Structure 1
Amino acid sequence: MRIAILADIHGNLPALEAVVADLQTQAPDLVYLAGDQINRCPWNNEVMDLIDAWQWPAIYGNHEWIVAHLGTEKTQFAGRDRFPSLWWTRENLSPNHLATVCALPAERRLDLDDGPAIRLLHGVRGDPFVGMLPEAADAVLAAYLEPMEESVVISAHTHRPLARRVGRWQLFNPGSVGMPYNGDPRGQYMLLQSSAQGWQPIFRQVDYDRGRVAVAYRESGFQAACGPMAELYLRTVETGEPWASDFAYWMRFQTDELKHDPGRAVAAYVQQHGPGNWAFQLG
């Protein structure tokens, strides 16, 4: 048996289309989505249309959770000046797709005929905003994995492929379809092949026309709505480097004045940080 896991598409239709074409050459029996299907690229409705057409089971990631709760007391992502892409995404999603986003589960248990049961979630149990980093110590990862009764766990969120044995668990991350953070800008996903030794990962990388993303940013109105932050999202797509999330991390520690001045904040950030000198030090 062969299954495919896709994660962190982030509204990037050209990347998803390329991955779908590759999937057809690999012929998995089942496909599952591990969250963050939407936001940061402008094709959110088109991505959701494609997911609906294939009827792939999905879970929510932190971006679906935020979009579902914008305008409520459950989320701190209220300021349109600080979080324009989230608001743009919510306001441009069709009512049907927004309803789908709001109804997604946090996790899924995959009981499959030819291999051990799998726990699929976006981050860690109870928190889609926390990722299991490749550099984390076994003890840290084991604490996150302890609540899982399944011996195989798939977690996304970090945008970085991972296959690691941690105690009694096999831990996998499929990487990101639409915004990888491992220095490879190609669309990335994972196949799991059943074997006598359990699930064996096959990591796939698929090239696509990233120039379409810059054009769509302009033509959709996404770039105008998001301003300087759109530049960082586009850098992420083009380079496979974590500009988008690293900036968000850096912003946590800035003054309230700077947090509400995205243009000045982005300018200050790019002067200080980049490849080899990220604000969030990995490892």
Structure 2
Amino acid sequence: MRIAILSDIHGNLVALDAVLADIAGHRVDHVVNLGDILSGPLWPGETADRLMALNLPTIRGNHERQLLTLAPDRMGASDRYTDSVLLPQHRDWIASLPESLWLTADVLMVHGAPGDDLCYWLESLDGDRTRAATGQEVEARAGGMAAPLILCGHTHVPRIHRRVGGGLIVNPGSVGLPAYADDHPVPHKVETGSPHARYAIVERTSDGWQAELIAIAYDREAAACAAEARDRADWAIALRTGRV
């Protein structure tokens, strides 16, 4: 079995289209989506339309939860813009998405970590930057969840982690946003250092699950210009450079 993993699209339709085109050149059995799908100043409604038509196995991320539960005056700028343009059918779709999903009996999809869509599972904060989490930190955040393969997103940082007790955790990175600043739980930056759209492919082999992290070029200038048109210079910089 081969699975292509998407996460953290953030309404970047041109990046999504480039990733889907690249996936079409691979033999995969499933394409899955780990959430944080629409939020941002780019093309949230159009991205929803594209994905609704594809009907991929999909879970919600923290931004879908926030769009469904927060009043606009409590939202950040990205959620607030998205909230202003979503149509009723888009809201119904994200409301239908589960928080986690067992794709098969041995493949679990979560957004952050099991039971926590805001958790940086494979990353830890070191001052105002992130670093790879230690094995002990990863297990402390696992909530006792064991599965041969767990797919997670949220941090936008692509990473493959082999658990000491067996099993693989894969974060494919972000399709649509390679860097950002956040203030939860403390102010910090997350930067991949390149503007590529990212996804991953995992394959079940005779030696267990194996993963490949993939970065592809796309028309990032179109995305950056769309961000600038909506007064989001921060996004434009991140999209062009992979830096904050």
Q: Place the TM-score, normalised by the shorter chain, in its bin.
A: 0.7 to 0.9
Structure 1 segment 83-232 matched on structure 2, within 5 A: 83-111=76-104, 117-132=106-121, 133=123, 135-168=132-165, 169-180=167-178, 181-219=191-229, 222-223=230-231, 230-232=232-234
User: C-alpha separation between the residues in 1 aligned to 2:210 and 2:162?
Assistant: 12
Give the residue type in structure 2 aligned to 1:199: W
The answer to whether the 8 A contact 2:224-2:240 is kept is no
Structure 1 equivalent of residue 238 of structure 2: 236
The answer to whether the 8 A contact 1:36-1:64 is kept is yes
Q: How many residues align?
A: 223
User: Mean Cα displacement is larger for which, 143-152 or 93-102?
Assistant: 143-152
User: C-alpha separation between the residues in 2 aligned to 1:46 and 1:210?
Assistant: 17
Structure 1 equivalent of residue 35 of structure 2: 35
The answer to whether the 8 A contact 1:41-1:213 is kept is no
Q: Percent identity?
A: 33
The SS at the match of 1:189 is strand
User: C-alpha separation between the residues in 2 aligned to 1:8 and 1:78?
Assistant: 23
Kindly state the Cα deviation for residue 14 of structure 1 after the two structures are TM-superposed. Answer: 0.7
Unaligned runs of 5+ in 2: 124-130, 179-190
- Cα 1:50–1:214 change in 2 (3 A) is same
Structure 2 equivalent of residue 47 of structure 1: 47
User: C-alpha separation between the residues in 1 aligned to 2:202 and 2:52?
Assistant: 22
User: C-alpha separation between the residues in 2 aligned to 1:62 and 1:234?
Assistant: 22
User: C-alpha separation between the residues in 1 aligned to 2:208 and 2:41?
Assistant: 36
User: C-alpha separation between the residues in 2 aligned to 1:38 and 1:163?
Assistant: 25
Structure number with bigger Rg: 1
Give the residue type in structure 2 aligned to 1:161: P
The Cα RMSD (Å) is 1.7
Can you list the C-alpha shifts for 1:235-261, whole angstroms capped at 9, x where unaligned? 1111112x3xxxxxxxxxxxxxxxxxx
The answer to whether the 8 A contact 1:185-1:239 is kept is yes
Would you tell me which structure has more strand in proportion to its own residues? 2
Provide TM-score, normalisation by structure 2: 0.86
Kindly state the Cα deviation for residue 84 of structure 1 after the two structures are TM-superposed. Answer: 2.5
The answer to whether the 8 A contact 1:9-1:179 is kept is yes
Give the residue type in structure 1 aligned to 2:153: A
Structure 1 segment 64-83 matched on structure 2, within 5 A: 64-71=64-71, 78-79=73-74, 83=76
The answer to whether the 8 A contact 1:131-1:155 is kept is no
Kindly state the Cα deviation for residue 125 of structure 1 after the two structures are TM-superposed. Answer: 2.1
Kindly state the Cα deviation for residue 190 of structure 1 after the two structures are TM-superposed. Answer: 0.3
Structure 1 equivalent of residue 9 of structure 2: 9
Can you list the C-alpha shifts for 1:53-77, whole angstroms capped at 9, x where unaligned? 2211111111111111122xxxxx7
The answer to whether the 8 A contact 1:90-1:98 is kept is no
User: C-alpha separation between the residues in 1 aligned to 2:86 and 2:158?
Assistant: 29
The answer to whether the 8 A contact 2:228-2:236 is kept is no
User: C-alpha separation between the residues in 2 aligned to 1:149 and 1:165?
Assistant: 12
The answer to whether the 8 A contact 2:114-2:143 is kept is no
